[in-house]
Structures are given as C-alpha cells and as structure tokens.
Structure 1
C-alpha cells in the first residue's frame, strides 16, 4: 500500500507517494520508490495506484541511463554465443549506422518516431536490401533490451521500411535479371577461354562453380576428403571465411544453414578435372615440400593455403575480359547459372532446392523465377505450336 504525504516547498504545498517494491536480493534491504511534486493529494493517490498496478502486472520498467552503444556491446556478447563469426561481423557493421545516430542516446528515450526518422534517412543512402539488414539487426538489439526489462516498448516494431520506386527509365535499363547468370552459350565461351588462356586452377574452379552450384565459400573450403571418386559425389560440410583476404587468417565455419550440409552427385567431366588437378597438385607438393602446408585443400596455393575469394574474383574478371560477354557477373553468378540450367533440364524444384542447399523452398522459388532466354523462347515456341491451326485460320 502506497504512503501519501505532503511537503512544503518554495512553490507551496506539494504531494508525493512512496511505494514498497520488495526486497533487494543482494543486500536484503527493502526497496522503495518515491515520487513527489503533485499539486493535489488526489493526483498523488492516482499516480501511486497506477504505479502499484504496473509493478503488480510486471509492466514497470526501472529508469535506466544505458545508452544505445553500450546496449549494442552487451547484445553482441550475447549474440556471439551462438552466432557464426561472419554473422556477428555483418550485424556489427549494420549496427554502426544506428550507433552513429543514437550511440550516446539513452535507450529509453529512443521512440518509434525517432527510429523511423533514422531509417528514412538511411534509405536515401543505401539499397533496400541493406536497409532491411540494418533494421533487422537493430530490432534484434531492442528485442534483447525488452527481454531484460530495460525498455517498455520496442521502437523498431511496426516500422515501415522505405522502398525506392522505380521509374519507367529504371525498368527499361534494368538488366539485373539477365546479369545474374550466364546463358549456356556464354558459359561455354567462358570455360573455353579458361581452358585455353586461364591460369593454374582456373578451369577447375569455375567448372566446379558452374557444374555444382556451390557458393564460392563452400568451394574454397573443399578438401580432397570431401570427394568420393568411386561414387562421383561431393559433400559440403564447411565454408571459408576470410574478411581480410589474408591467406593465413582464414576460418572454416559450418555451412550457412542446416540445409546447406549436403552431398551431391557430380558430373564425370568434373571428376576427370579433379583427378588431373590432383596429379598436378601432388607434383607441387613434392617440389615445395619444405614449406608446403598440406591441409588437404583442393584449391590451394603453392604453399598449401586455400585460395582467397578475392583471388578467384580477380581471376574471373581476367577471363571475362578475354570473352565477348558484356555482363557484370561475379563468382556467385555461376550459382544462378547452374540453377537456370537445371530448370532448362526440367529438374524438379525440390531436387534443385536440395542440390543448392536451400533450407527454405521459397528461396529456390525466387531464383526459379529468373528463367533463361532459352526457356522463354521454348515457352513461346510451344505456345506457337499449340495455336498453329488457329493462327492459320486468322491469316487465311
């Protein structure tokens, strides 16, 4: 029960209340909350009753001066217990944009309007996807604060993420769908140039990407123990992580998702290339035995370290310049290329999902929507054949 009292101040009589909140588990002393400055006894009683109800309903939030930057540091320590190093780094980078705005602001003073203003401001600087990443990271931090009763409401809930409206000109110039993968003829040209003018390991690396649909990090992490030459299979149980591109400072992590752990069948051509590469690599090991660090990597440098993703990206651009291909593709484009070719070969969507290592079928469906020109032409041809008789009647 709250105790109501009155107090004489320089501004006259003021009223206040004091409420018992329980016992401190550490010191064993009673915890009491006081508030004063009310003009009337009735105001003090109403405020006390509201306060007691909040305590009884578990809605009371203890005032805190914790600032957003400190909350982020606490959350990152908590998040790092289960998250991969790459995920933690991505969240850390995304949160920097919110910290730049509210780093030293007490978290209890950050409301929905203030947060929406920041998101709207950042949306003018970054892509829609990156804004979504920033928002998701911030939401995780505020949900963490709410779970600890540091804030009463989560300011990130119900926020509208801005979407950039495309103009007619943008749509006319949008080649993003076609730029995401190589057509079959373009892939043939690329791999032919890689064979004739590529450097050591180029043909194998880009054939693996194109013929398996592996993520480049999964490919770089491949070891000879992951290849079953008898059954023509390849297993994916790890991925390569190296944000600094220092060949010595890499980390092998578990794959992106549970669904990414998989064993796939590989083409006889790829098996032949792997066997030839192994023979060449054995010679390199023998020649460089004094300083070769053999960790069983397939795509290894002359010292035995796995090749970096940046190294392979540079090699890819070198080959592209020697082709007639005008697309701005990346190593990840081979994953889309592999998908489009599977679709063209009428492989079932579920099989594609398992081969690519997608945990969510919707992810596969999104990629499935990016059909190749050949598939679109085939659909047009089938329609023309279907409507052949009707078309003749319309002309004659």
Structure 2
C-alpha cells in the first residue's frame, strides 16, 4: 500500500511498491508538490498502476492521458466531461501516435494545437488545452517531466463563434426582459433567471422549487440536469459551482407569480411535476437549450437588438454586476468560477457603456480627491 508523508507545506513524499517493465517488483519513492488530497489521489494512482508496469517505465503520451483519465477523472466528473476527456485522448492518439511523454516539447504541442484550430471553435480547443495542461502538469508534479510543454501555447483559430455577440448592454437586456415577461412559458422563465443570476443552462433547468428560499431571497445551486446522457439530475460543473446566491426582489416576485401560474396550468393538464422542477413543461422534460436560443433570437430580431444566446446572458449578468459596482471576487463566487482568474480572463472585452462608466468613476474619484 502506498504511503503519503508530508515533509513541508504542500510537499509530500510518496512510497509505493510497483512492477517495472520486466514484471519485477520495485520500491519507489516520489516527491509530490500540491495539496494533500492531490497527493493521496496520486498515491492511489500508483497503487492502481502496480499491476500494469507501474510508473517506472517510459510512458507513451496517450497511455499517460488514459491513465490520468481513469485514475483521476472517470466516475468523478459528469458524463459530459468524461466524453470531452475521451475525445481529447482520441485526438492525442491520432496526432501523436506512439510519442513518448518525455519527448513532447512546446513546438510539437503548439503544432498540435494549430492543427485543431483549423476546423474547430477556439473555445473548443481552449477547453481541450486546459484539460491537457492539467494532466501534463500532474506529470511534472510527480517528477516524470521537469516542465510543462503546454505552458505558453498560443491559441488562435478561424473562429466564427468569435464574431457572435458575447453580451448585451443593460438597456438591451431590459428590453428583452420586458418582452419575455409578457408571456408565461418555461423558456421565458429560464431567460429571466439567467438575466438575474448568470446561472448556466444546465443549472437553470436543474432547479427545483426546493432550491428557492423566498423568505431569505436565496437560490441554492447544487445540481444540474443532464439532458444529453442520463436524462436525470447530475452534478455541477465543478466543486466551486455548488453555491448559494442572493436573488433580487424583481426576480423573487416574478418567480412567485410564475409558480402560481405553473400550479394552475399543471393542475388543469393533470401534470404532477413529481420532480418539482422550476423550468419544465411536462413531468420530467426540461427545455432544450436550442429551443430557448431560437426564442431568444426571434425576440432580439423583434426588438432590433444584437442576437444573443442564453449563455451570453451569463456574460451580460457579469457586465451588469460590474456596472453596479460589485467587486470581482463576489462576481466570481456568484458565477461559480473555480478561481478569480477565470472571471477575469473571460470578461476582458467590456461594452463601451462600461468603459464610459469607468472613466466617469475615475474622474469623479480624482476630482473629489483634489477638490476640483
């Protein structure tokens, strides 16, 4: 059994007994930099690999990626994320073949990323790059590599998605909300919730009425609805996505009215809503993201505002919070980002209205300070 000993803060020594490439048992010692949880996971990985030549051999890149997925991700992330990892491993195998992990260098990796960018959305490539970088960084932590060849990679493709509207200014959002509220429909409710909370699509359709605390003006987000695989409740994107967020009076009053109307309609149609879903038009059939986006597109056309998606309303919510003077740390927690850098990296491009607002704040601060 592998043992884990902390030798300094976030530094561990791991001892294990594994088989080498000749099938011989060998005692090994590894230094690991990271959290205790990560160190224990790695020690478990050593144990899992002891019947498959251990970690003393020269790993092929694709073999290492498969081991990392099976040890650290399989069964620990949702089905959607598992599929992304499996697709990533397939791409690595196709491009790199039998390349050894230790032979991967920054140039080879950059050429791989460039190839992916030729026919895929930049966001898709970036998502894959992040997962690859985490896996390779694990190899660095365990001493299999001295540096991460994924560091410093440039990602820039011919991306049609880059031309899509990422967010709307507050005045356009208000126009959309006013029209959406005129009609009772689950898709309209999903849009209103997205505008006021910045929640993700899967989080919104996974909401139940038990998650909404009207007395304390709070919504608990601790699950999603897996509409592609399980067709049931699932885990959130990551641990940070589990959160309790404040809801304003406008949203709270809207949801109260919506719930009353939902009960009336469901009673009339004989729908029990046994899962207690907020955004549902039948028993256990939450709305497809596509159907919500089609309605949003038509609404934008009607109002003559830039076309926007439900996910872009999440970005718009962030801009509204910044305009309201909310600090970036609170915004990061509210959105369920793993760390503040994610919030900062995604929302670097802000609207002209926000830029104007910030300039006005700077002028107001320094004019006040200097008595002008």
TM-score, normalising length: structure 2:
0.69
State the partner residue of 1:77. Answer: 70
Local SS of the residue matching 2:286: coil
CA distance in structure 2 between the aligned counterparts of 1:109 and 1:376, rounded to whole angstroms: 46
Q: Does 1:274 align with 2:255?
A: yes
CA distance in structure 2 between the aligned counterparts of 1:262 and 1:333, rounded to whole angstroms: 20
TM-score, normalising length: structure 1:
0.65
- Residues 138 and 156 in structure 1, CA contact (< 8 A), matched pair in contact too: no
CA distance in structure 1 between the aligned counterparts of 2:114 and 2:219, rounded to whole angstroms: 46
RMSD between aligned residues: 4.1
- Residues 116 and 160 in structure 1, CA contact (< 8 A), matched pair in contact too: no
Q: Does 1:315 align with 2:295?
A: yes
Q: Does 1:224 align with 2:218?
A: no
State the partner residue of 1:206. Answer: 191
Residue 375 of structure 1, CA deviation: 3.0
Deviation sequence 1:134-189 (CA, Å, 0-9, x none):
3444456667889999xx769973665244499xxx9xxx866xx32111210121
- Residues 143 and 154 in structure 1, CA contact (< 8 A), matched pair in contact too: no
CA distance in structure 2 between the aligned counterparts of 1:154 and 1:323, rounded to whole angstroms: 56
- Counterparts in 2 of 1:270 and 1:107: CA distance versus 1, 3 Å: same
Deviation sequence 1:286-306 (CA, Å, 0-9, x none):
2333x6451010011233432
| Higher Rg of the two aligned structures | 1
- Counterparts in 2 of 1:111 and 1:155: CA distance versus 1, 3 Å: farther
State the partner residue of 1:375. Answer: 354
Local SS of the residue matching 1:282: helix
Residue 225 of structure 1, CA deviation: 0.3
Deviation sequence 1:72-97 (CA, Å, 0-9, x none):
55554333042332221111222322
- Counterparts in 2 of 1:159 and 1:280: CA distance versus 1, 3 Å: closer
CA distance in structure 1 between the aligned counterparts of 2:70 and 2:366, rounded to whole angstroms: 64
CA distance in structure 2 between the aligned counterparts of 1:349 and 1:147, rounded to whole angstroms: 30
Q: Which runs of 5+ in 2 are unaligned?
A: 1-18, 27-54, 368-372
CA distance in structure 1 between the aligned counterparts of 2:78 and 2:155, rounded to whole angstroms: 30
CA distance in structure 2 between the aligned counterparts of 1:208 and 1:143, rounded to whole angstroms: 37
* Map 1:334-345 → 2, pairs under 5 A: 334-345=313-324
- Residues 217 and 241 in structure 1, CA contact (< 8 A), matched pair in contact too: yes
* Map 1:281-320 → 2, pairs under 5 A: 281-289=262-270, 292-320=272-300
State the partner residue of 1:394. Answer: none
* Map 1:186-201 → 2, pairs under 5 A: 186-196=172-182, 198=183, 200-201=185-186
